[in-house]
Structure 1
């Protein structure tokens, strides 16, 4: 009997003990969708710097490109005595996998290097017809840090070296999606057009959905010189047969001007030698110089 009573007490205690309350569902006070945490997967970082010897216009062009590229990292000027292979170590210290290096020569010529660090390839361009944003004073404008659309000429898909340049330009100038310093929309477009074996760069603002554009700037033309297999070096994969160095071009201009002067002197000498002789062409230098003046004075008196 005692055991039965103890069992009954235990059952009553189990029945009377309150059970654990079930968790209530979370209540949302907003109809907006839940924002998911997105990861920044395309981690392209571009090191933008210059070597010593560039002029003020080239420096302003570099600053304009920095403003348009929120995924860039700055660096101080590189000494001209250092070799280009040092740039790979600089990119490694800055945790960058792309590099843009401006190289100035004679305070007038500008070269631009684009490289995929550390395995390559790398391209050397000669920059022509530079116009910065401050010089142009165009009406277009874009929000700083916004992502650009990249528009390429159909010729980029026809030649193998242009296809390589298209891929490299896309990785360098394209702003990664969900970059911390970028804006999540597109409001301007980069156009890369091939004309006269050169790449023409333009930057336009997208005004409306119907395709209206307004140029922002800067402007410049890239004349490709060589494509190398490595980063800032290696075997040359392609060389531009139409490229002429600016020093040689200026030398040819001077020779043409010299030839024009020599031809003009020769034409004068030939004309003097072939002119027919005779009294009709001989002039007396002091013949009847004061006749008219003496006559007038006599009448006045």
Structure 2
């Protein structure tokens, strides 16, 4: 049977799928290049591995040595025949930025990636078939602004697996959800779980219930989270591929370097206040003559030791 299946699968279809007008349906030829820069941590590396496993149309490449000459990624994508780039840039071995680009003409968006949790770390009960296609679910807020519509199209072409991609399976068994909350994009992955409506779980065994009104074969659909999960904050959008004029900039974004600097400044202010209080206490005790070896105490004429000696 395996030889028969292989021979049938190698045969080309005689007719191409057509649209309602009778024209041949255009084939979706999207390929994604996933790579990172030097300095990524183990958590960042596991995130790249999870995304590469979920996206069969992606190609994982070695780390990029430079962080200044990012337009070189356009030549690298052309070399590997990829028309989407997901570049993870690590800064100071703790901050991670995601560049989504559409070479060679753009656009490009830079996002801050935080709250990263990988599949191995979460250890969820959900699972999906390797090489299957995901259903992309977007929040309604993506249609509210122009830059969000462009961002939605970039995410769709980058994470949307084509129908006949190499190494892919013709199944849809998981969902990638992109939700906009507080100016951040929350990314979650769920498995589409199907259970028969006539069965309930009693302890460790499934008990089949009789069909109601002769209706049987109905299934209940539920979502079980798989992982990974992360949060993206849009920073800037460029017209070209890793270059060109800025078409959108997030004015509310605060750099993590600035956040850490503010925390250090607050801690330094508290220490300086305690140090100044200690110096004032020493000066006060010295003026009162309560510290030995730092001057004598001036005795007033009306002091009790002078009046009743």
TM-score by length of 2: 0.73
The within-5 A match list for 1:143-182 is: 143-182=129-168
* Residue 97 (structure 1) aligned with residue 97 (structure 2): no
SS in 2 for 1:125: strand
Distance 2:160 2:283 in 1: 69
Aligned pair count?
A: 244
Q: CA deviation at 1:36?
A: 5.5
Taking the aligned partners of 1:194 and 1:262, their CA distance within structure 2 comes to 41
Q: Could you tell me which residue of structure 2 aligns to residue 257 of structure 1?
A: 267
Deviation of the 1:57 alpha carbon: 1.0
* Matching residue of 1:85: 71
Distance 1:167 1:125, change over 3 A: same
State the distance in 2 between where 1:37 and 1:99 align. Answer: 33
CA-to-aligned-CA distance 1:111-167 (integer Å, 9 cap, x gap): 111001111000111110111111111111000111111111111111111111011
Pick from 171, 175, 179: which aligns with 1:193? 179
Higher helix proportion: 1
Aligned partner of 1:292 in structure 2 is none
Query: Alpha-carbon deviations, 1:233-267, whole Å to 9, x = none?
Result: 11111011111111111000111122233345566
Report the equivalent of 2:53. Answer: 67
Aligned-partner Cα distance in 1 for 2:92–2:239: 28
Give the distance between the partners of 2:259 and 2:15, measured in 1 at CA: 56
Q: 2:229 aligns with which of 219, 227, 231?
A: 219
* Counterpart check, 1:241 vs 2:251: yes
Instruction: Give the superposition deviation at 1:273.
Output: 9.3
Paired residue for 2:35, among 26, 44, 49?
Answer: 49
Q: SS of the residue aligned with 1:207?
A: strand
- 1:61-83 per-residue CA deviation (whole Å, 9 max, x = no partner) reads 00110000000112221112661
Q: Structure 1 residues 265, 183: closer, same or farther in 2, change over 3 A?
A: same
So what's the TM-score if we normalise by structure 1? 0.75
- Which secondary structure state, in structure 2, belongs to the residue aligned with residue 253 of structure 1? helix
Query: Quick one: which of 238, 241, 248 aligns to 1:231?
Result: 241
Post-superposition Cα deviations, 1:148-194, rounded to whole Å, max 9, x if no partner, equal: 11111111111111111011100100001122321112111011111
Larger Rg: 1
Matches within 5 A, 1:26-41: 38=16, 41=27
The CA deviation at 1:210 is: 3.6
Q: Flag the 1:265–1:150 CA change in 2: closer, same or farther, 3 A.
A: same
Equivalent position SS for 1:212 = strand
Match of 1:122 in 2: 108
Structure 1 residue ranges without an equivalent (≥5): 1-34, 283-301
Q: Which runs of 5+ in 2 are unaligned?
A: 1-12, 18-25, 195-218, 291-309
Question: Alignment partner of 2:164: what SS?
Answer: coil
Deviations 1:20-73 (A, max 9, x none): xxxxxxxxxxxxxxx765578101011111111211110110011000000011
Q: Cα RMSD between the aligned structures? A: 2.4
Give the SS at the match of 2:171. Answer: strand
